Amino acid sequence: MGTSATRSYTLTASLICANMLELGEEIKRLEKGGIESLHFDVMDALFVPRYGLHPEMLAEIRSITSLPIHVHAMVEDIEPYIETFVKAGATTIMPHVESHRHLHRALKKIRDAGANAGAALNLATPLNVLDYVLDDIQVVMLMAINPGIVGHKLIPRVLDKISDLKKKFAGRAIEIEIDGGVTPESAPEMVRRGATRLVCGSSTIFKQGENVAERIKDLQETIDANLK
């Protein structure tokens, strides 16, 4: 069995799937279970068909945990709010390349504000959009479902995209994060293809009536066993 120090991947908890009525306790349970970071979905009901979490909530979360918080910006334009999210406690901000005409500028603003910069790609978006910003990002997040809807099933073609991205990143210290479709069945193959961070939500660790810490442990054990 692997440990957090020896595994080639980490798990991040999708907070939008958590129980909002007891979020503070939920985060404590996540920490106890060994989760390595928190995934914070921001949505504007324009880029995707629903609303998400907000910076005031992020600030409250930051006040009770030191875990890294990765902001997934599913919005038409994150630039006016970058400093707000960083001041609230964001560790990383990942805007979608599809919604930013000036991606390099947005990434620079994120880094200048003191956070790590990432880029999120929908399934149909080709990887070559990253060619001229590879030196400006610490993580690329691939959507394995269409964004904005919790619980959608994995689109299998993303597995080849993970492999292609790993080849593209050869020799670079850039994380490959997968959002959507992460299940005990799909996660091992995602890691095998090159994923280094998996977003865990309603299909893995947030199951009504089940212990979050135990679900994290079960998922890690399943992935580790299938990587042997």
Q: Would you list the DSSP string of 181-226?
A: ---TTTHHHHHHHT--EEEE-TTTT--TTS-HHHHHHHHHHHHHHH
Q: Does 59 map to a domain?
A: yes
Range of the domain at 88: 10-227
User: Residues 104, 109, 112, CA angle at the centre, nearest 5°?
Assistant: 120
Q: In this structure, what CATH number is given to the domain that contains residue 192?
A: 3.20.20.70
Q: Does 1 map to a domain?
A: no
Q: Does 166 map to a domain?
A: yes
Q: Does 159 map to a domain?
A: yes
- What φ, ψ does residue 66 adopt, rounded to 5°? -105, 5
Averaged confidence pLDDT in the chain = 94
Structure-token match 């689109």, residue found: 155
pTM of the prediction?
Answer: 0.94
For 52-163, list the strands marked E by DSSP.
Answer: 69-74, 92-95, 116-121, 139-143
Q: What is the pLDDT of residues 89-106, one digit of tens each?
A: 999 999 999 999 899 999
Q: Does 4 map to a domain?
A: no
Q: Does 102 map to a domain?
A: yes
Looking at residue 173, its pLDDT comes to: 93
Q: Does 5 map to a domain?
A: no
| Catalytic residue annotation | 41, 179
Q: Does 95 map to a domain?
A: yes
- Report d(CA 117, CA 125) in Å as an integer: 19
- Report d(CA 90, CA 81) in Å as an integer: 12
As for how many domains the chain has, the answer is 1
Looking at residue 151, its pLDDT comes to: 62
Q: What is the pLDDT of residues 117-157, one digit of tens each?
A: 999 999 999 999 999 999 999 999 999 998 866 667 899 99
Looking at residue 150, its pLDDT comes to: 67
Looking at residue 127, its pLDDT comes to: 97
Residue 26's CB is within 10 A of a number of other CB atoms, namely 18
Q: Please determine, for residue 1, whether its predicted confidence score (pLDDT) is greater than 60.
A: no
